[in-house]
Amino acid sequence: MNTAIHEERPEWRAKNSKIDVMSGDALLILDHSMIPSIAGVKWNATPTVSVEIKPKCGFLPISVFIAKENAIKKRVSRFSMHQHLKLARGMIKTVSRYSPLDLFSGSYEKIREAIQALFETPQNNLRVFVDGVLVFGTSAGCPDSQSSEKGGTDYPFESVDRTLKRIISCRDGKRVSLLQRLVLEFLYSSESLSLLLEMQKLDLYDIEGAIHAYYKLLQKRNKTCLGSENRKVDHGIADQTKENDLEGNALFDWLSSLTLEDCRRVVRDYLIAATAKDCSIMITFKQLPIGTTVDDDFTQTYCLENGQNFCSKISFLDLDLKPLKKMPYYYMLDQEIVKSYMSGDSVIGN
């Protein structure tokens, strides 16, 4: 199996990790790129389409533990700031105009704009599969997936439009917009985004607060914690915790007074939130045979203006809990992202 799937794995992942063939445990996971059997539905030969979105963090932090010099995090999304760092490091060629804040906004129009932006510059945040085969976007981890295919054509989605010809009935050049409509309708009418945002918001303290709980949990001090008594704290926004009456240094005094069980809770919630911020959503859909209705509380349906009726399922992927040992890495990356954005290393405007 390790040999058989080697070519299917992203190059960076295949290089850095291998399947442990000596392990006595394995997980049997559903293929979320396919629609399961539904009672009363006799499927035809129409292919199944699945769109994978890595939405990233959908809210702005308001934690009082964010240092005053890093207060930009309360005004600019983590995704947007990270784009600057990636551009400066040559990891991407173009900054995406996609906004996770729009995707999680609950606004139909803003979600539509977010989906359009993902298709324009998918990077590793959007991929499209037909019957499990990648047709748009690139493997996660590959440098910059500018899959707009702009070479030699005025229409940036010509290749994927041809692929969708067997699935969506309309004139050439319109299929990708109808694909985006399906994604929009299924996402907007489901609770998937709101549930995911709820998990992301378990991060009450931001990494700048959680890192202190981490080191106390490990019963060690680190240079990231040293000098905290001298740090400037932006407490202009009321603390969302019960200690909103504390100010300045007392905030860190309060954190240092936490029990080990309190620290476990803070770190656990941060890692759950980090997992939710980095997971993917898979929207999978297939055309229903003419005259077929679905009586299933877990299956959504939507009829396009051309009369085609599709059913969908939505799944979450990559839910492995982030490892405890990565807490220092998360802190350092957070500081690098803010520093790069504030210094304008990527030489692009705000």
Q: Is the pLDDT of residue 300 over 60?
A: yes
The pLDDT-based confidence of 31 (bands split at 50, 70, 90) is confident
Q: In the chain, what percentage of residues exceed pLDDT 70?
A: 77
Q: Looking at per-residue confidence, does 213 or 15 come out higher?
A: 213
Contacts of range 119-123, beta carbons closer than 8 Å, 24 or more positions apart: 119/157, 119/176, 119/180, 120/96, 120/148, 120/156, 121/94, 121/95, 121/96, 121/97, 121/146, 121/148, 122/146, 122/147, 123/92, 123/96
Chain centre distance of CA 293: 32
Helix, strand or coil for residue 151? coil
Q: Name 281's bridge partners.
A: 53, 316
Question: What pTM, to 2 d.p., does this model score?
Answer: 0.83
87 within 8 A of 251, measured Cβ to Cβ: no
Q: Count Cβ atoms within 10 A of the Cβ of residue 212 and give its class: 0-12 exposed, 13-18 middle, 19 or more buried.
A: buried
Smallest Cα–Cα separation from 3: which of 17, 18, 25? Answer: 18
Q: Which two tokens stand for residue 106?
A: 């609950």
pLDDT tens string 110-134? 999 999 999 999 999 999 999 988 9
Residue-level pLDDT at 138: 75
The mean pLDDT value for 223-232 works out to 47
- What value does the mean pLDDT of the chain take? 83
Q: Looking at per-residue confidence, does 39 or 162 come out higher?
A: 162
Lowest-confidence segment of 65-74, 88-97, 246-255 by average pLDDT: 246-255
Q: Is the pLDDT of residue 230 over 60?
A: no
Smallest Cα–Cα separation from 132: which of 213, 30, 59? Answer: 30
Q: Is the pLDDT of residue 181 over 50?
A: yes
66 within 8 A of 323, measured Cβ to Cβ: no
